[in-house]
């Protein structure tokens, strides 16, 4: 009874290389996968994978013209007798004593260049035998020692081997110890050799073919190796003729339960045969199967490919998550918004807008109102030089616990466009005065919550090791983020703007109106005291015009200041928000993006190892949406404390923002 192996596209042989070598591509990808994963996944989880990579490299360096076939079986299955029958000579001891086979025995057909394979298998020299030739190295004097050639010498012009023997050229047949041996060393030796051979021929007997240890320990775990598995029901001579088919059918049923595909009717899969080493029944069929395997020279590649498939299946939980991986745009925006809230960007903008409006009111108000303001002795001093009460503004967080009381920073006076400043040419921001540095620290709870939320969103759907790596990168970046935000806020707080020219014009008009009113009062007093001979209505008109004109001009100026004040406040808020965003990018978003890109690369390499194209198209983008450098100011490289600043502290290309040596500056349109 014969089940032949159907021809199929096989992986490239173990020694082939090049772009047309799928096995080499997968092995290279496995090496890249290990290199990228060593600092993210425990060494214990990758130990077996590293061993497989080493085995692949070893097998690919050795002869790919030979196919290593191991005869494995339980005690009393008759595998040694079957080995001797195939070799044509009693090379492996067979008998009733158990265990009989204490050491693996090898027989090689056409043994040239096979020594490396035998060394790799650990076959002792005295247990190596050659068929159709001699093993590499000096030939021993003894007949049964190392490098022994099996068979008699041929006369001149004779071919003692025949076509049947020639078809097995390149076969390395190994008789293994019993896998259920009472000697622990025998079982360990069998397990080690089964990982190294190209093909396994399981020799079963009618009594133990359903043994649980065989199926649970060997056949079931190697279900994916059906293409390099042959199952031989030996000793069928002990069964009645009609019982052999029943036992074979039951064996196929058990193999199906194990998940081991059986190749029938020309299909690919494991080969099932019935043999008898005693009577020779089925031996021609087994020789034909071995000859086909050896002739194809693809078994080694199939074995390594099956090992890669098994390893890829085992590693899948470590490299394939439940969903897409990456940062969403809403998550990035929410993170930056939280950092801006923690820095009090909105409060700073509102404070700047109020300061600008108040400064305009003070500059354009009536002299009487300014005099009254001076006499009230109001505490505090804004960045414009106007005295105000120090105020605290409560910043509303985006989530519970996000509120933080932020001290409105005080300034040191509104600079005049014409006032000179040492070291600065006239007309180029002269008179600029640095803003003070007193402010409360950025809210750590708000920042910590923002970092945790970003890490949770970025790690969603990732396998456990890579989710942990992403969270670790975010946590490390968030540890120094509050102090870094404090530093950049001090550098990016807007300084006093240039005094608009129309403020001086309005102030001059106010003085003229006050002089007009005072002149009317003096004239009225002169008329009453007969000092001046003048009609009564001109002084009255002067007083009315001066008294009502001043408040009217103040009201017009206040209305005109709304737009510039709003733009100034928005610019101050934007400046602080951009500074916080750059710091968050440099310290948190970029490290998280690097981890996500690393996982993306690992995922692509894993897909190659698994033999499938990477399916990342439906996943969220692993990057951070335009993070390059700091993602902020062009050429700045970030702010001090957030990725290395060039000391400018400014943002080129932003409307109304220019880099300075001192505090960043916000200009409001006049």
Helix (H) or strand (E) segment spanning residue 184: helix 184-194
CB 128 within 8 A of CB 135: yes
pLDDT confidence of residue 316: 92
Residue 164's pLDDT is what?
A: 72
Tens-place pLDDT, residues 602-650:
999 999 999 875 544 444 444 444 333 333 333 334 434 465 434 333 3
Q: What is the pLDDT of residue 407?
A: 36
Tokens of 163: 């076509």
Give all strands (DSSP E) within 66-137, no chain letters. 67-73, 105-109, 128-131
Q: Using 50 as the pLDDT threshold, list the residues of the chain that sit under it.
A: 1-4, 6-10, 17-18, 138-146, 152-161, 377-383, 385-440, 615-641, 644-670
pLDDT of residue 327: 80
Token digits of residue 553: 């001009």
Listed residue (485, 228, 253) closest to 348, CA to CA = 485
pLDDT score at 658: 32
Predicted confidence at residue 506, as pLDDT, reads 81
Q: How far is CA 106 from CA 115, 128, 179, 197, 290, in A?
A: 11, 5, 17, 12, 15
Q: How open is the CA angle 433-438-442, to the nearest 5 degrees?
A: 125
Q: Which two tokens stand for residue 499?
A: 């005094």
* Complete domains list, the chain, with CATH: 65-141+163-296 (3.40.50.300), 329-420+430-666 (no CATH)
Q: Pairing relation of β-strands 271-274 and 392-395? A: unpaired
pTM > 0.75: no
Separation CA 436–CA 372 (nearest Å): 27
Give the DSSP letter string of 42-100. Answer: -HHHHHHHHHHHHHHHHHHHS-SS-EEEEEEE-TTS-HHHHHHHHHTS--S--SSSSS-
Predicted confidence at residue 613, as pLDDT, reads 56
- pLDDT for res 266: 65
Beta-bridged to residue 262, according to DSSP, are: 270
């Amino acid at each position: 009874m014969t089940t032949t192996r159907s021809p199929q596209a096989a992986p490239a042989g173990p020694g082939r290389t090049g772009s047309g070598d799928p096995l080499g591509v997968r092995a290279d990808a496995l090496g890249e996968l290990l290199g990228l994963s060593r600092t993210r996944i425990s060494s214990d989880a990758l130990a077996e994978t590293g061993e497989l990579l080493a085995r692949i490299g070893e097998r690919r360096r050795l002869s790919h013209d030979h196919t290593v076939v191991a005869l494995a079986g339980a005690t009393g299955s008759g595998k040694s007798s079957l080995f001797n029958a195939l070799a044509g000579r009693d090379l492996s001891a067979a008998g009733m004593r158990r265990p009989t086979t204490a050491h693996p025995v090898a027989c090689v057909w056409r043994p040239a260049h096979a020594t490396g394979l035998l060394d790799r298998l650990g076959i002792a020299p005295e247990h190596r035998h050659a068929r159709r030739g001699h093993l590499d190295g000096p030939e021993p004097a003894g007949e049964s020692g190392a490098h022994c050639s099996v068979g008699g010498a041929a006369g001149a012009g004779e071919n003692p081997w025949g076509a049947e023997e020639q078809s097995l050229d390149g076969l390395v047949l190994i008789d293994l110890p019993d896998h259920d041996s009472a000697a622990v060393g025998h079982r360990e030796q069998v397990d080690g050799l089964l990982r190294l051979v190209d093909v396994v021929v399981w020799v079963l007997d009618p009594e133990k073919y359903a043994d649980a240890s065989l199926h649970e320990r060997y056949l079931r775990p190697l279900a994916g190796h059906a293409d390099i598995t042959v199952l031989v029901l030996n000793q069928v001579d002990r069964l009645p003729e009609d019982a052999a088919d029943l036992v074979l059918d039951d064996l196929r049923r058990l193999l199906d339960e194990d998940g081991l595909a059986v190749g029938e009717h020309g299909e690919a899969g494991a080969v099932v045969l019935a043999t008898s080493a005693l009577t020779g029944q089925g031996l021609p069929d087994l020789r034909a199967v071995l000859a086909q395997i050896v002739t194809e020279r693809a078994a080694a590649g199939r074995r390594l490919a099956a090992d890669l498939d098994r390893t890829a299946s085992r590693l899948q939980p470590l490299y394939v998550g439940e969903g897409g991986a990456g940062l969403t745009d809403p998550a990035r925006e929410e993170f930056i918004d939280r950092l801006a809230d923690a820095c009090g960007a909105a409060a700073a903008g509102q404070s700047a807008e109020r300061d600008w409006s108040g400064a305009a009111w003070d500059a354009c108000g009536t002299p009487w109102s300014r005099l009254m303001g001076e006499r009230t002795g109001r505490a505090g001093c804004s960045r414009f030089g106007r005295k105000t009460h120090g105020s605290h503004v409560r910043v509303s967080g985006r989530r519970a616990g996000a509120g933080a009381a932020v001290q409105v920073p005080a300034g040191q006076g509104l600079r005049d466009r014409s006032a000179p400043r040492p070291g600065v040419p006239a007309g180029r921001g002269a008179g600029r005065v640095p803003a003070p540095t007193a402010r409360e620290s950025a809210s750590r709870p708000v920042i910590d919550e923002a970092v945790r939320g970003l890490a949770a969103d970025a790690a969603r759907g990732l396998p456990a090791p890579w989710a942990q790596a992403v969270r670790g990168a975010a946590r490390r970046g968030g540890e120094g983020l509050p102090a870094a935000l404090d530093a950049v806020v001090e550098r990016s707080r807007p300084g006093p703007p240039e005094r608009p020219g129309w403020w001086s014009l309005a102030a001059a008009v106010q003085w003229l109106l006050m002089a007009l009113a005072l002149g009317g009062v003096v004239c009225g007093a002169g008329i009453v005291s007969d000092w001046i001979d003048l009609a009564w209505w001109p002084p009255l008109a002067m007083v009315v015009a001066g008294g009502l004109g001043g408040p009217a001009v103040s009201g017009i100026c206040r209305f005109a200041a709304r737009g510039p004040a709003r733009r100034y406040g928005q610019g101050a808020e934007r400046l602080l928000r951009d500074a916080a965003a750059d710091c968050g990018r440099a310290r948190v978003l970029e490290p998280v993006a690097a981890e996500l890109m690393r996982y993306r690369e690992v995922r692509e390499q894993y897909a190659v190892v698994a033999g499938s194209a990477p399916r990342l198209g439906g996943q969220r983008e692993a990057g951070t949406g335009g993070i390059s450098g700091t993602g902020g100011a062009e050429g700045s490289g970030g702010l001090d404390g957030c990725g290395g600043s060039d000391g400018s502290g400014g943002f080129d290309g932003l409307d109304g923002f220019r880099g300075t040596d001192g505090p960043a500056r916000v200009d409001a349109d006049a």
